[in-house]
């Protein structure tokens, strides 16, 4: 708990806006709504865990920076929805 307070104080000191964070939702986690689907496309071509483990870092580096930026922007918009709707159902708005 003390680390959270220190982190919050640091962010405030750096003039970084802190948004209220809604409860966990797979609709809000970028890895769930974008990255995992992106990576799963070719998983069946790797016969074992070793070849898969070698592929993942290479695949992550091959994703264009603008895709990560676009996803971050979408994530910010998704984070606003449950806050604006006071935790009510919002999936139909995505």
**pLDDT category, 65, cuts 50, 70, 90?**
very high
Q: What is the DSSP letter of 63?
A: S
Provide the b/e sequence for 64-74 (b: ≥16 CB within 10 Å): eeeeeeebeee
Please, which residues have CB within 8 angstroms of residue 36's CB and are 6 or more apart in sequence?
none
Q: What is the pLDDT of residues 1-60, one digit of tens each?
A: 566 666 778 888 888 887 766 555 656 666 666 787 777 777 778 888 898 888 888 888
State the first-to-last Cα distance of the chain, in angstroms, to the nearest integer: 33
Residues 26/33, Cβ–Cβ less than 8 Å: yes
Structure token pair of residue 44? 């069946």
């Amino acid at each position: 708990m003390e680390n959270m307070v220190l982190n919050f104080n640091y962010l405030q000191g750096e003039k970084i806006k802190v948004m209220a964070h809604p409860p966990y939702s797979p609709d809000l986690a970028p890895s769930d709504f974008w990255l995992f689907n992106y990576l799963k496309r070719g998983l069946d071509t790797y016969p074992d865990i070793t070849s898969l483990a070698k592929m993942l870092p290479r695949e992550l580096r091959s994703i264009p920076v603008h895709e990560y930026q676009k996803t971050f922007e979408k994530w910010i918009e998704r984070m606003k929805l449950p806050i604006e709707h006071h935790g009510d159902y919002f999936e139909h708005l995505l």
